[in-house]
Amino acid sequence: MHIVSGSGDKTIQLWDAASGTYLNTFTGHCGWVSSVTFSPDGKCVVSGSDDKTLRLWDVVSGAHLNTLTGHSRAISSVAFSPNGTHVVSGCVDNTLRLWDVASGAHLSMLMGHSSSVLSVVFFPDGKHIISGSIDNTL
CATH number of the domain residue 101 falls in: 2.130.10.10
Q: Is residue 22 part of a domain?
A: yes
Q: Is residue 11 part of a domain?
A: yes
Mean pLDDT on 104-130: 93
Q: What is the pLDDT of residue 137?
A: 61
Q: Is residue 31 part of a domain?
A: yes
Q: Is residue 119 part of a domain?
A: yes
Q: Is residue 52 part of a domain?
A: yes
Q: Is residue 77 part of a domain?
A: yes
Q: How far is Cα 42 from Cα 58, in angstroms, rounded to an integer? A: 9
Q: Is residue 97 part of a domain?
A: yes
Q: How far is Cα 46 from Cα 37, in angstroms, rounded to an integer? A: 6
Mean pLDDT of the chain: 94
pLDDT surpassing 90 at residue 136: no
Q: In total, how many domains does the chain have?
A: 1
Q: Is residue 34 part of a domain?
A: yes
pLDDT surpassing 80 at residue 138: no
pLDDT surpassing 90 at residue 52: yes
Long-range pairs of 27-34 with CB within 8 A, sequence gap ≥ 24: 28/55, 28/64, 28/67, 29/53, 29/55, 31/74, 32/6, 32/7, 32/8, 33/6, 33/7, 33/8, 34/6, 34/74, 34/75, 34/76, 34/77
Tell me which residue range forms the domain holding 98.
2-133
pLDDT surpassing 90 at residue 33: yes
